[in-house]
Structure 1
Amino acid sequence: MPSPNQSSPPSVTGISPIEGVPGTKVTIRGENLGTRPEDLIGLTICGVDCLMSAEWKSSNKIVARSGAGIGKGDIIVMTLQGGKGTSTVQFKGYQETMGPLKESAVWVDETVILNMAFGRKRPMSPTSGLQDDPLGLSVEGNERKFPEEELEEMFPGTTGDLTSPKFSPEWFLLENHHSTSFNDLRAGLACLKRKVEAQKEGQISFLKANVGSVIEQLDTLLELKCKFESDIQEYGRNATGVLETSIINCKAEADMLFEDVLQRKDRADGTRNALNVLHRFRFLLYLPVNIERHIQKGDYDVVINDYARAKSLFGDMQVPLFRRFYNEVEKRIDELRGVLGEQLTRMPSSLEHQKKIIRNLHHLETQGDPAWECLNAQHGYILQLLINSQNSHLKRELMADEDYGGGGTLKYSSPAAASRNSTPAAKYNKIMMSSVGEWQASAPVRVLCVEEVSELLSCNFPDLWKLGQAYFGGELLPPTAQINHSKHPKCKEMILEILDVFSGIVRGAIMPHSLDPSAPNFRNYHVWAEACLDQITPWLPQVLRHVRECYGTMLTLDLPNDALDIIKDLILDLRVHCLTSLFQQTVEHVRSLHRREKWKLEVDDENGGCTQLPHVCEGVIIECAQLVRETVLEAGHREPSLLDHPTVRRDITTLIHNVIVAFAQALEKLGLRDPDEDDDDEECEVPENAPGVEAQLLMTLSNCAFMRRVILPRLSETLVRAAYPEAEVHQAVEQACNAYSELQDRLFEAYLEERVDPIIGMIERSMYLGHYDWGKIQHQPTDVRTYVKEILINITYVHAEVVGVWPGLVGGLASRVVEGVGEEMSRLISCVQQWSPAGALQAHTDLAALTTALKSYMTDNAMASYQEALETLPKLSKEDEIVKEGVLRSFRSNMKFLLACFCEVEPLSDTTTTYSIA
């Protein structure tokens, strides 16, 4: 009874080799293949029974030879106990192809083999059979681990092909026997030696191996010999002569038999040829009508093809009828030439459409030069577009002047209304953020004109330039025509004329001062009315952007330098004009900032007090500088750097200086205006809680000092960081600083005049109040007189007013007040005619009280005035000195709070009469 394992069906899990020709020895491995040779009852390989050649080795191995099966197929084993098995692998069978170096007993068609392997280093398939394994070794378990690329690197210039003259044994062994042991290689060498020895035995061994094929060939040759001898006996040795005679006789009999049929065939062929000729000429007869119909449809290509065909067929025909129809065709073609010529010069038209019409006219053999005519028409069309745009916008400008009184837009009712408008930078930002409709509704007419002509030039000029390039490149000429280089200068003149007109229109609309009065077309462009600065300046960056976009389009066309220089010079002048105009409008805006003063003081312990006006001025200047840097100073593609131009650098210095000094002018209007004069600015709003004139003057003086100490250095750093030239910025700021210094001196003198003169003026009146007489006083003084206290109180009031605005001004201002008081006291004392002892003692006491209280502010000039006054007075005795000291002690005790105000400020360290703002 079989074991459980033997009752299972057999299965094939591996074979070696996996392919081969019929008769290939195949090693089959698997499971349940039987326990003895008698158990193997069936074996099929690729559907062919191979049991006869099967040799049972073990329950896991069978050796057999493959049959005649072609292609891939399973290997099925049948055993007595397990029945029909299964296969997890397949064997590929193929027919062996005989190679040119393989011995064969039959005829081999070598052309097939050569064609298959032509141009290849090795056969197309490893199963091609062009070479056998010369060592006769089994390839079972052999794995190729060396790719062909590595073998080429290891053995350059050689190959593993046995038929190649560059054969390398090492390559062959690594490629086919990498895992073969040394003993197997020795056995293969012995097999190779036996094959060589067998070949040396001669043809006898070959005949023995192929005796069946040789006998079959001999029988075929013998049969062929017998057939040839029988044919000679029957037909003779010249059999072809008899055949030729028979063929000639047959042809004669056939001609006699089919003579009538052939005649009828000839008549039918003649009729058919006549109909064919009529059908051929039918094309010409219907061609005029067909041409008209295709022209109406616009199928010009069909008309051109038909005309070319008709001309080649009937152009030289002299038959009157045909010539008449051909003349009708020529007439229709002339009309088509006129239609195409009219379409060619009709604008606007696309470049491709123009090229197509020009080629059609060349195909129609039109006289003249259609491409050049198209160039002239395009040139005139662009010029007319530019001029018409200028004229239409100029007409709109004139209509706006009639409606609003000039300028193309509604003017401001007063300078104050204009000053309340936003800064140039804010206006430009508002312009950029507005929609297309808002932009066009608010933009000046001349700005819209520049936008339109820039767009017209950008849209139409490239087609003109490309058409000219195609013309002089030979693309738009007939095949046999030569390029007319004499028209190059004329084409260049057309290009330059268009760019000159564009430049003239832009210059005339935006900056007429840049036009050349000696130019012949000066009057054609200098037609715009003069516009106010505030109207056009905010739109200049927009104008510059449009012209730059147009210039960018020109750069893509590879224009000559002299043509590009026209637009480049225009952009340079526009940048300079935009730079100047933006700064000039900012100057006007800064100069009118005095109308925005609210007199709200902000005190900083470090920098002193100021209002918001200096900060507003700083913001306006920085906005203008940033706008100029972004739109003007930053050079576009192939634009020169504006800062490299020496004139521009010098102008920048002047512009920065002017815009900074403009605020000084605004401060001067605030501090030094004449109150008796009527204010031109009727709409200047004055706050209800505005301080007095003296306080306004003091605040203005503080603003001026704040600008000099804080704002100007900060502006200088900001401008340098914004890429403005450092040397020019420092020079402009330094010059402006001098202007603020001069203004500060004038404001200081004005404030002194407002405050010191009343203090000095009251001294004499208060001194002689009640008809006081220095020569009639008899009693000794017990206190300092009232006028001295009044002087100190007035100075204290000024002191408090200054400290509340700018503490740094106290020292200089108080010293000037003390000087004035000293000079007045010296004058008044020197005018006294007679002194009583008590009066002299009183005067000494008063002067001592003043000098003691104001010693912190005493200058050399003040001390000299008081010393002069003391020298005028009579000398005091020791008893009088004691009385004076007693009165001064009482004065200091009673007035200690008032005197404390004069002790908070450090005394001056020098004898200068000026003040320090550092």
Structure 2
Amino acid sequence: MGPPPVVTGISPKEGPPGTRVTIRGEFLGTTANDLIGLKICGCDCLLSAEWKSKNKIVARSGPCKGRGDIIATTRSGGEGTSTVQFRGYHESIGPVKESAVWVEEAAPPSLPWGRRPMSPTAYTPPDPLGLSTEGEDCKFPEDELNELFPDGSGKLSDENFQPGWYLLEHHSNTSFEDLRAGMVFLQRKVESQKEGQLSFLKANTGAVMDQLDRLVLLKNMFEEDQRKNGKEPLPSLQAAIEESITLADSLFSEILSRKENADKTREALSLLTRHKFLFQLPASIDKNIRKKEYDLVVNDYTRVKNLFGNTDVKLFQKILAEIDKKIEDLKEKLHTRMKTMPINVQEQTKYIRLLISLNWEGDAAWIAITSRKDYLMGLMNKVKDHFKQKEEQESNEKGKRKQKESENEGPWSMTRAAWCGAACGALASELNALWPLARRYFAGELGGEPTAPQRHSNLKEMIIAAVEVFSEHMRECLLSGGGSVAGGGALPVDVLRTRLLANLRHLREAYDSLLKLDLPSQPLSIVEKVIFEYRVHGMVVFLQRALRRVKGLADAETWKVEQFSDYGAITILPHLLETYMNEALSSIHKCVLTSGRRESALLADGSEPAAQLLKHTQQILLAFVAVLRDLALQHDDEADFNNTSLSVALDQRLEDGAAGSMRGPGGRNWQQRLLMTGANAQYTRRRTLSNVTAVFDNFSLPKPTQPIQVTKDALSTLETTIAETYLEHKGDPLVGTIEPSMYMGRHKTDVETPVDDARPYVYEIINNLIAVHAEVDSICGAASSRYVRDICETVCEELARLAACAPVATTRSAALQARLEYTLLRFACAEHLTRKAENYLMEALAGIPPLETEEDKNRMDELIQGFKKRMELQLGSLNCNMETV
């Protein structure tokens, strides 16, 4: 219950019946329907009341007289109070005063046989004093007259007439001399009336005497009749009257019956004429319903209820019953139309107000709200079923091959994009209708029971349920389907970006429409979570797409040198890795990185999406390492190495004339592909990964410190594996030829034979190293020293082993020969000897007796100089500057 109404001011404060009164106050009703009563000085004025606002009402005063309160009654606050009063008075209307009725200017003539006029109030007697009352606008206050004459009256015809009241009311401003003249006039008038009676008797003495004679004659006749018939003549008179009545009935029965029927007809016609509105209302209701002019029906029904609602006339009750039946049918019709969807809010609100005006039993607004909620739920399910069925039909029409392609598209198909747009549009449009309707309902504008506590919670549950269904459908539409996260891998990146942005735009438009409605935070957070999940999903899709493409790089390798860098011959693979990463990160930056209104940052520090970004980045980079490893260790065309020195020495020279079966893709043999893979790995570790890190910085993405470091470690391990593999397949056969070549032809040195040159195995080792160096240098350039150092180290280790196993040289020639050979090998491989290789050679030389004579030393120097001169080209090829190759 609200506060009771209070009337604090009126304008005007007095007036005759029908005065337009403006009433001001507080709590005078929340709506026009809330005002249920208004009394001015005790007279009911509700029918003429016009509710303007909760502080103002305009009404017309009733037939009240005297002062009284203005009492307003509301449905929400009950009966109110008044701090002011209104004074009503009745005006006397004279012949010259403006009036809405006709006033007789003279007394009506005396009618024969003593009948009086039909309306005794139609004639106002003239002033008995003979004075004019025109201009007497300033009347004596009626309240004071009531106080002076509590039991009197100023009307001449009243029994409690008080002359003082009359004089104060009509002649309060008349002078004393005029009053004396009026008194003389009144006395003269009375005397004239007395004299007129006496003169009348004098003039009609004969008639009066004749009347007296007649009375005496009647008296004698009555006495004579009484002597003859007795004192009781009534029975015979009654019998005569009854006989006359019977005779009259027999003579005039037909005429009287026709008269009775005519009277009834006239009464019926008169009744129909007077109450034409009531009798024509059923047909009028049907006509207005057909025209959908429901407001006219409500107004007519309210009017007839006010006029005939409490009637006891059977005919009227029968008509009212028929009208009530039509109104009940109309209520049911309006109720059905209000619930039938789709319908706009304005029309639905109109039906709600009509039902309220017709006193429909039930909460129409709440039923409308629940109907809209049910329609929204059903609409989203229909949208889902429609696009699911459409997707199945497209799959059946395309066939197995195209069906597979469609499944690969997954959530990026045109059907799914249309589904997303339709679902977002349905949610936004229906909530834009449901929520304002609910707000008006809880504001009390649509009647019902908005104050019920469970209604608020029920509405909140409705909104949350609808948003949750929408979220589930969007997850099914956009976050699942054929290809799962990797879906869309077959689509071009431009198409993928366009569709992702279109779907994200639909979601954000729906989210913005909900934000404008000022919904509670819980349903908004549900939609925001879907958008966030979709952004994460889009990021993962781009990264997974890059991962798929990186995994397929093995098929894109043509072994064509795209660039010859400091790290050797580089193929297209590092560039493709950088391109794929740049493309994926650019798509993430353009499509999903930017947050919309009231959306969370996608890649906040320590967030799960940031961890997923780094995780997938590491997967992509390690997948590239795995591709390099597969390419490096795949050697189906590997040549059969034998233990002859010719197979190694001629390997480089036979490259151009080898059979096709000995070549791999691009005309490269396996050793060359192995070296090119090592160059790619080193270039990727030193250059490409730095470029990838720069791309992360350019797009303001979290730095991939851990993935880069893990990838660098994996690439370093791969480079080591490639070096060991190359050493195993290239160095081991070379080392295996040393011992057979050392003892081939001459197994020992003669004492008498002078030492003039190194044995052939030394030249064979040098030529083999030159062949290896040439092959590695052609692929790896400046980075080839690693492979040559490893092979030289292996050769030195083998020489040290053979020197330790050989018998100790006992002659000068044997010592000179052995020292010469190790010295020449050391000189030839000086640029490629590691400390470990140096130690091996020092161990071998330590086991040879030193040169004792000056002649041997000179001979040693002479042989070394001759070796340098003869082998100048070979030594230059083996120890060339890597930067100039």
Q: Scaled by the length of structure 1, what TM-score is found?
A: 0.59
CA distance in 2, matches of 1:854, 1:339: 107
**What is the match of residue 575 of structure 1?**
535
Instruction: Say whether residues 1:389 and 2:350 are aligned partners.
Output: no
CA distance in 2, matches of 1:329, 1:408: 67
**What is the match of residue 682 of structure 2?**
705
Q: Residue 603 of structure 2: which of 622, 643, 653 is its match?
A: 643
Measured after TM superposition, the shift of residue 599 of structure 1 is: 1.2
CA distance in 2, matches of 1:276, 1:838: 164
CA distance in 2, matches of 1:410, 1:552: 36
Measured after TM superposition, the shift of residue 508 of structure 1 is: 4.2
Which AA in structure 2 matches 1:801? E
- Secondary structure at 1:655's aligned position in 2? helix
Indicate if the aligned counterparts of 2:558 and 2:665 stay in contact, CA closer than 8 A: no
Instruction: Say whether residues 1:815 and 2:768 are aligned partners.
Output: no
Measured after TM superposition, the shift of residue 824 of structure 1 is: 1.6
**What is the match of residue 751 of structure 1?**
726
Give a deviation string over 1:130-187, Cα, whole Å, max 9, x none. xxxxxxxxxxxxxxxxxxxxxxxxxxxxxxxxxxxxxxxxxxxxxxxxxxxxxxxxxx
**What is the match of residue 474 of structure 1?**
444
Instruction: Say whether residues 1:690 and 2:658 are aligned partners.
Output: no
CA distance in 2, matches of 1:249, 1:291: 45
Instruction: Say whether residues 1:716 and 2:693 are aligned partners.
Output: yes
- Report sequence identity in percent: 30
Measured after TM superposition, the shift of residue 572 of structure 1 is: 2.9
Q: 1:249 to 1:563 in 2, by over 3 A?
A: closer
Which AA in structure 2 matches 1:548? R
CA distance in 1, matches of 2:465, 2:432: 15
Q: 1:303 to 1:897 in 2, by over 3 A?
A: same
CA distance in 2, matches of 1:731, 1:689: 36
Indicate if the aligned counterparts of 2:352 and 2:365 stay in contact, CA closer than 8 A: yes
Indicate if the aligned counterparts of 1:404 and 1:410 stay in contact, CA closer than 8 A: no
Unmatched tracts of structure 2, length 5 or more: 1-102, 112-116, 123-264, 639-662
Instruction: Say whether residues 1:899 and 2:875 are aligned partners.
Output: yes
Measured after TM superposition, the shift of residue 388 of structure 1 is: 3.3
- Secondary structure at 2:860's aligned position in 1? helix
Instruction: Say whether residues 1:889 and 2:865 are aligned partners.
Output: yes
Which AA in structure 1 matches 2:792? V
Q: Residue 768 of structure 2: which of 789, 794, 797 is its match?
A: 794
CA distance in 2, matches of 1:564, 1:447: 22
CA distance in 1, matches of 2:295, 2:406: 64
Indicate if the aligned counterparts of 2:566 and 2:782 stay in contact, CA closer than 8 A: no
CA distance in 1, matches of 2:728, 2:286: 102
Q: 1:312 to 1:676 in 2, by over 3 A?
A: farther
Give a deviation string over 1:77-123, Cα, whole Å, max 9, x none. xxxxxxxxxxxxxxxxxxxxxxxxxxxxxxxxxxxxxxxxxxxxxxx
Q: Residue 332 of structure 1: which of 314, 326, 329 is its match?
A: 326
Indicate if the aligned counterparts of 1:856 and 1:905 stay in contact, CA closer than 8 A: no
Instruction: Say whether residues 1:344 and 2:334 are aligned partners.
Output: no
CA distance in 1, matches of 2:783, 2:568: 9
Indicate if the aligned counterparts of 2:559 and 2:665 stay in contact, CA closer than 8 A: no
Which AA in structure 1 matches 2:413? A
**What is the match of residue 489 of structure 1?**
457
CA distance in 1, matches of 2:284, 2:442: 36
Q: 1:603 to 1:531 in 2, by over 3 A?
A: closer
CA distance in 2, matches of 1:407, 1:557: 47
Measured after TM superposition, the shift of residue 477 of structure 1 is: 1.8
Give a deviation string over 1:820-879, Cα, whole Å, max 9, x none. 111122223333347575454333322222111111122111111112222333444433
Give a deviation string over 1:304-358, Cα, whole Å, max 9, x none. 3333333334434443333333322222221111111111111111122211211
Q: 1:510 to 1:764 in 2, by over 3 A?
A: farther
Which AA in structure 2 matches 1:711? T
Q: 1:743 to 1:534 in 2, by over 3 A?
A: farther
CA distance in 2, matches of 1:470, 1:375: 11
Measured after TM superposition, the shift of residue 487 of structure 1 is: 0.9
Indicate if the aligned counterparts of 1:385 and 1:456 stay in contact, CA closer than 8 A: yes
Q: Residue 778 of structure 2: which of 804, 812, 817 is its match?
A: 804
Measured after TM superposition, the shift of residue 745 of structure 1 is: 1.7
Indicate if the aligned counterparts of 2:567 and 2:783 stay in contact, CA closer than 8 A: no
- Secondary structure at 2:822's aligned position in 1? helix
Which AA in structure 2 matches 1:767? M
Measured after TM superposition, the shift of residue 691 of structure 1 is: 1.0
Q: Write the mapping of 1:253-652 to structure 2, written as runs, cut at 5 A.
A: 278-279=272-273, 281-395=275-389, 409-411=403-405, 443=413, 449-477=419-447, 483-511=451-479, 531=484, 533-535=486-488, 538=496, 543-604=503-564, 608-644=568-604, 646-648=606-608, 649-652=610-613
Which AA in structure 2 matches 1:659? I
Q: 1:359 to 1:394 in 2, by over 3 A?
A: same
Measured after TM superposition, the shift of residue 403 of structure 1 is: 7.8
Measured after TM superposition, the shift of residue 627 of structure 1 is: 1.8
CA distance in 1, matches of 2:530, 2:816: 86
Q: Residue 655 of structure 1: which of 599, 603, 616 is its match?
A: 616
Which AA in structure 1 matches 2:574? P
- Secondary structure at 1:621's aligned position in 2? helix
CA distance in 2, matches of 1:636, 1:741: 43
Give a deviation string over 1:622-651, Cα, whole Å, max 9, x none. 111122223333211101223335242333
Indicate if the aligned counterparts of 1:390 and 1:505 stay in contact, CA closer than 8 A: yes
CA distance in 2, matches of 1:610, 1:559: 59
Measured after TM superposition, the shift of residue 485 of structure 1 is: 4.1
Which AA in structure 2 matches 1:339? K
Indicate if the aligned counterparts of 1:778 and 1:839 stay in contact, CA closer than 8 A: no
**What is the match of residue 228 of structure 1?**
none
Instruction: Say whether residues 1:843 and 2:803 are aligned partners.
Output: no
- Secondary structure at 1:901's aligned position in 2? helix
CA distance in 2, matches of 1:641, 1:250: 95
**What is the match of residue 519 of structure 1?**
none
**What is the match of residue 150 of structure 2?**
none
**What is the match of residue 832 of structure 1?**
806
CA distance in 1, matches of 2:771, 2:104: 158
Indicate if the aligned counterparts of 2:586 and 2:699 stay in contact, CA closer than 8 A: yes
Alpha-carbon RMSD = 3.9
Q: 1:839 to 1:549 in 2, by over 3 A?
A: farther
Measured after TM superposition, the shift of residue 607 of structure 1 is: 5.9
Indicate if the aligned counterparts of 1:784 and 1:846 stay in contact, CA closer than 8 A: yes
Which AA in structure 2 matches 1:863? E
Q: 1:552 to 1:691 in 2, by over 3 A?
A: same
Q: Scaled by the length of structure 2, what TM-score is found?
A: 0.61
- Secondary structure at 1:643's aligned position in 2? coil
Which AA in structure 2 matches 1:660? L
Which AA in structure 1 matches 2:757? D
Give a deviation string over 1:212-267, Cα, whole Å, max 9, x none. xxxxxxxxxxxxxxxxxxxxxxxxxxxxxxxxxxxx999469999xxxxx99xx9x
Which AA in structure 2 matches 1:850? L
Indicate if the aligned counterparts of 1:347 and 1:381 stay in contact, CA closer than 8 A: yes
Q: 1:482 to 1:832 in 2, by over 3 A?
A: closer
Measured after TM superposition, the shift of residue 395 of structure 1 is: 5.0
Indicate if the aligned counterparts of 1:295 and 1:303 stay in contact, CA closer than 8 A: yes
Indicate if the aligned counterparts of 2:560 and 2:572 stay in contact, CA closer than 8 A: yes
Unmatched tracts of structure 1, length 5 or more: 1-247, 257-261, 419-426, 428-438, 513-527, 678-685, 908-918
CA distance in 2, matches of 1:401, 1:650: 36
CA distance in 2, matches of 1:645, 1:346: 51
Q: 1:385 to 1:530 in 2, by over 3 A?
A: farther
